[in-house]
Amino acid sequence: MFTGIVEEKGIVVKKTKINEGFKFRVRSKQVAKKLALSDSVCINGVCHTVTTKSKTEFEFTSMHETLKKTNIGELNSGNEVNLEGSLTLNKKIGGHFVFGHIDDTGVVTDVKQIKAEKKKDSDNWEYRIKIHKKHAQYVIYVGSIAVNGVSLTVAEVTKPKGNYFEVKVAIIPFTYNETTFGRLKKGDRVNLEFDFLGKYVLNLLAANPKIKKLLK
């Protein structure tokens, strides 16, 4: 389990194709030091197991099933990735509970820089992400969503057009600089994990035949 608060940007230094999928090696100054063999680590929002490590690097294997559901297979040497070690009992929960189990990917449809009106204020960025309408029930205004492992608040939800709807998330300068959001552009695919609390509530409600009809 994770919190969606990225601890560091790592660098992919090696990608190797294997029978199971791909093996990756990531260079990290902070997160790698705290990891041990078999530990869980969040890579762009996806939970993986550490298979080998040194003080500055670690490796993980991404299986075919994970590659089908996420953007991990698109990573190559030199790419930056968002890193977070697993939640511990003495770690602050600054975001929300994130499992690292990706529900689907979305596509960035727009990136807009919002200039500060006053000199003392900071610029911000707005990102719009297109999501398949089958997930609309899991996304609510000012609710939580994890995008590439970053815990964010939904700032806007549009009505579905065709098979898709869009959400807007706002990024402050710190998040823009300290995560891979600073490199995202229109057309990029991002990993999405919806708030698990909402999914459990809907699952329980759907067990009631009368409520199930209302949810359709």
Please report the domains of the chain, with CATH numbers, ordered by start residue: 8-85 (2.40.30.20), 104-205 (2.40.30.20)
CB contact set of 163 (below 8 Å; sequence gap of 6+)? 132, 133
Using the Cα atoms of residue 50, residue 84, residue 201 and residue 155 in order, give the sign of their dihedral: negative
Q: What average pLDDT does this structure show over 81-95?
A: 84
Q: Say whether pLDDT at 8 is over 60.
A: yes
Name the amino acid, one letter, at 94. Answer: G
Q: Residue 69: which pLDDT band, with cuts at 50, 70 and 90?
A: very high
Cα–Cα distances (Å) from 36 to 6, 22, 49, 187, in that order, read: 19, 20, 10, 36
Strands 57-63 and 124-132, by their bridges, are unpaired
User: What is the C-alpha end-to-end distance of the chain, expressed in Å?
Assistant: 31
Question: What is the tens place of the pLDDT at every residue in 12-49?
Answer: 999 999 999 999 999 999 999 999 999 999 999 999 99
Q: Hey, is 66 helix, strand or coil? A: helix
Question: Are the C-beta atoms of residues 213 and 206 closer than 8 Å to each other?
Answer: no
In whole angstroms, give the CA distance from residue 66 to residue 72: 8
In whole angstroms, give the CA distance from residue 134 to residue 8: 32
Strands 164-171 and 46-53, by their bridges, are unpaired
Question: What is the tens place of the pLDDT at every residue in 154-169?
Answer: 999 999 999 999 999 9
- The encoded tokens of residue 115 equal 């200039």
> What is the pLDDT, as a whole number, of residue 210?
61
Q: What average pLDDT does this structure show over 96-116?
A: 93
